[in-house]
Structure 1
Amino acid sequence: MQLAAASGLMSLVLFIVAMGVLALLAGGFWMTSRVKYRESPRPRPEEQPKLPPEGAVGEVRENRESQEIPQIPKGERPLTPYELSNMDTRPSASKDRPRWSRGSSGSFGGGGLGAH
């Protein structure tokens, strides 16, 4: 009961805590303004990038496939990821878009019923 009773000391502590929080907020704004003042100025409109003379670049849609992983002769040790080169992709000969199986969302845990 005594802890629940209002006391002048508790009010003073809450006031000091509130002033500390306000001081932290004001210090944060002050630090932010100092950092922003040191940044380089924003580019002017004439310094903004322009479109090339031939216009916007069009979108290219193509199917890509990865290179084949080298086959290891039987009895030899498998290659580690560090021994493989950067596996680039190349344009696919097929123009058909790959599709997921019917009834599948194509992702793990996608919420679909899956292929039954």
Structure 2
Amino acid sequence: MNMEWTDIAAERSVLGGIAPFLAGVVVVAMLIGALWLGARVRAREPRRPRPDEQPRIPEGGPVHEERLLREPDEIPRSDRRLTPYEVHGNQGTRPSPDKKRPRWGKNSSGGFGSGGLGAH
């Protein structure tokens, strides 16, 4: 009778060791499959550009930032509802003819709630 219990215990320990091993084999197989699939996808992609095919700086040098001042584009007053084609499609602003940028005063903090002294 004692012999039967040891056989059952031995079978359970063998099964307890096989399950994690099989799970490991499955994980390794999935990783190998992912690498294989990634290699296939990369092989279908266009090749990377060579150093001589990389973008170059234009002949006139680097492109500089262009500052454009914009001012509100007022919507005309009307007693009736305006249709979309009567309102300009440029996000409610237009280029400003004045090219001078507004500057903050000496005692102005430049932003609401920024902790500056503010204008006195």
- Give the TM interval when normalised to the shorter protein: 0.5 to 0.7
Aligned partner of 1:110 in structure 2 is: none
Question: Paired residue for 1:32, among 19, 34, 38?
Answer: 38
Aligned length: 96
Question: Paired residue for 1:14, among 17, 20, 42?
Answer: 20
Percent identity, aligned pairs only, is 39
Structure 1 residues 97, 64: CA separation in 2 closer, same or farther (over 3 Å shift)? farther
User: What's the C-alpha RMSD, in Å, of the aligned pairs?
Assistant: 3.1
Structure 2 length-normalised TM: 0.60
Q: Distance in 2 between matches of 1:44 and 1:57?
A: 24
Q: Distance in 2 between matches of 1:24 and 1:15?
A: 14
Q: Is the 8 A contact 1:63 1:97 kept in 2?
A: no
Q: Distance in 1 between matches of 2:30 and 2:14?
A: 25
1:23 aligns with 2:29: yes
CA-to-aligned-CA distance 1:30-79 (integer Å, 9 cap, x gap): 10101111111111222222221111111123433443344342xx4576
Task: Map 1:38-53; keep pairs closer than 5 Å.
Answer: 38-53=44-59
Aligned partner of 2:8 in structure 1 is: none
Structure 1 length-normalised TM: 0.61
Amino acid at match of 1:16: L
1:100 aligns with 2:103: no
Q: Return 5+ residue gaps in structure 1 as ranges.
A: 1-5, 105-116
